Amino acid sequence: MNELSTQELTRHIDDSNTVLIDVRPIAAYNGWALHGEERGGHIPGARSIPLQWTRYMDWIEVLEEKNITENRSVIVYGYSAKESDEMAVTLRELGYQDVAVYNGFVNEWSKNAELPLNKLPRYQHLVYPDWITQLINGGTPPHYENDNYVICHAHYDHIEDYNRGHIPGAVPLDSNSLESTETWNRRSAEELRKTLEKLGIRHDTTVVIYGRFSSPVYEEEKFPGKSAGHLGALRCAAIMLYAGVNDIRILNGGITSWETRDLPLSTEASKLIPVDDFGADIPVHPEYMIDMPEARQLLAAEDGALVSIRSWEEFIGNQSGYHYIEKKGRIPGAVFGNCGSDAYHMENYRNFDHTMREYPEIQQTWEEGGITPDKHIAFYCGTGWRGSEAFINAWLMDWPHVSVYDGGWYEWCNDPDNAIETGVPDEPVFKE
């Protein structure tokens, strides 16, 4: 196996015909120092393909999606020579001819402050199963400096999902307690305060949140959202940030990532320990949620964009996307943000194991569509779930002016004063 030195690797980084593959866990790629390395993150330009993905039958499709073709030179690195060699051998068996390995990441690259490392700016808020394990076992996981936490198992009016198995110590969080069942907008400040206090959450409580995703089928389910628990968890996370919870931690991949590690689940309900005072005036971050007047202003602004996190079929008006929304179409002037196949899936923002897609990939896709961090970006969908997941992605990237247009298509299409467009737009929009 051809092993490159650090000096040799630096000469390849800017070569457009060479692709660098990071086979470490995606948490390490994002910035967590999982093996005690002096600096966390990934080598600039590297693509994240964790070695564990090769255990899945359909992982080869990821190579195609990331344009890692057989005619390109490939350099593999990980935490150990064993990891790198295993991926390199696998690629050679698939027909890749020019494959090399780099085994100096821990002992050379991460130790040298002059060598660049990239990381997700708010990676500490996207946690991994072992981090939570340390927390619930009474330890102090990395980047945790609190003595007060609540773990929330989010669901949509589906307590059975919590009862079938949850992370030990987690309390159930019904998304309906944070958003109205009439408008699907965030609830009032007073309602949010009561819900959070009942859960035992203050503004300075560390909240760990996750859900279960079990592939809802729109045509077969009256309430597909009940099977999209992790999507609902990200909606809840966005509302909590709006309310003023300082320290949100999202389990990357939801409970799937916990179950993949064969970590224990509990079927015993955890006792709620309410608090008397949230400790801050809600909302602490009103800028994270906008309503229709602000959405209209944003459509007219040169330094802003209203981004539709919906499927192409919804965007062009072939379907509304929801059993309870009759009208079809899009908001005129909205930018297409392409969630994936339907209202309950976010394939274009997730890996196949439900972890968040590597952030440089999402940022590049957005920039190709004119969605850039120098603008005020407001994401929306039908009722707020998908828009909230896109918002969380931008928030983790530390984009300075991001919001959720809370009312979304449901609110917009039910106002007779609002224009609606259908069909393929005259102006080009980004579409994968």
Cβ–Cβ under 8 Å, residues 12 and 18: yes
Integer CA distances (angstroms), 203 to 117, 143, 170, in order: 33, 18, 18
Q: How many CA atoms, within 13 angstroms, populate the side-chain half-sphere of residue 282?
A: 25
* Residues recorded for the chain: 432
Question: Encoding tokens for residue 114?
Answer: 């002059």
CA dist 107 and 81 (Å) reads 12
Element (H, E) at 378: strand 376-380
Structure tokens at 4: 């490159």
What is the C-alpha separation between 327 and 318, in angstroms, rounded? 10
Task: Report the helix count and the strand count for the chain, using DSSP H and E.
Answer: 14, 15
Q: Specify the 3-state DSSP secondary structure of 330.
A: strand
**Strands of 304-308's sheet, edge to edge?**
289-290, 402-405, 376-380, 304-308, 335-336
The catalytic residue among 152, 236, 381, 413 is 381
**248 touches 146 (CB < 8 A):** no
What does 241-285 look like in DSSP terms, one character per residue? HHHT-SEEEEETTTHHHHHHTT---B-SPPPP---S--SSPSPS-
Q: For the chain, how far is it from start to end, CA to CA, in angstroms?
A: 36
Please indicate whether residue 381 is annotated as part of the active site.
Answer: yes
Burial pattern 102-135, b for ≥16 Cβ within 10 A else e, equals bbbbbeebbeeeebebbbbebbbbbbbbbbbbeb
What are the catalytic residues?
381
